[in-house]
Structures are given as C-alpha cells and as structure tokens.
Amino acid sequence: MLTHTFTWKVTGDDTNGQYAIAEVTDTEGGSAPVHSHPWEETFYILEGEMEVQVGEQTQILGAGAVIHIPANTIHAFRICSPTCRTLISLAPASAAEFY
C-alpha cells in the first residue's frame, strides 16, 4: 500500500462518521496482499484496470465497474494497467485512520 496516493473527497467530519470517500491512484503492480478488516469498502473504478480477489473469486475490473467488500471478508487487489484511479468508500469513516 506504500505506492497508493489517497485524496480524501469526503471525510467522517462530513458524514457524522458514517463513511469516507477517497480517490486512490496507483500504478501497475501496486497491490494489497490478501487481508481482511472490520470495515466495509466499495471500489468504483474510474480509470484503468485492477484484479480484485474477494473470498475465493478473482476478477479483473475496468472503468465503470463497482465492487463491494463486506466487513471481515478476505480480499486483495493488484493494479494491472499503467495507472488506475479508483473511488473507495469506507464505512464507518474511522477506517480512514488506517490509511
């Protein structure tokens, strides 16, 4: 996750702690290993492609695709285009402190 660039669009202060939204940019090969956490994430791909694993299923997502990852679900991703821009929604907003 050291290669990701986060630009916070909506913070917990804006939503009374309910959720936060960030635009995340990364380059080919950028990834997050298999992991889980107690918050929900929703990815909306703005540009580029990423391979996403949720549970036992893996798929390649391109611009316009959306995937929701429930809390405590095993998942991973890897950028497979020169660049990728994604909107990520985190709920609750306190999850943003991790990043």
Report whether 6 contacts 89 (CB < 8 A).
Answer: no
**Distance, CA of 62 to CA of 57 (rounded, Å):** 16
Q: Read off the pLDDT of residues 18-31 as tens digits, 9 standing for 90 and up.
A: 999 999 999 999 99
pLDDT at 99: 66
Q: What is the pTM of this model?
A: 0.89
pLDDT < 70 regions, the chain? 1-2, 99
Please name each of the domains of the chain with its CATH number. Answer: 5-91 (2.60.120.10)
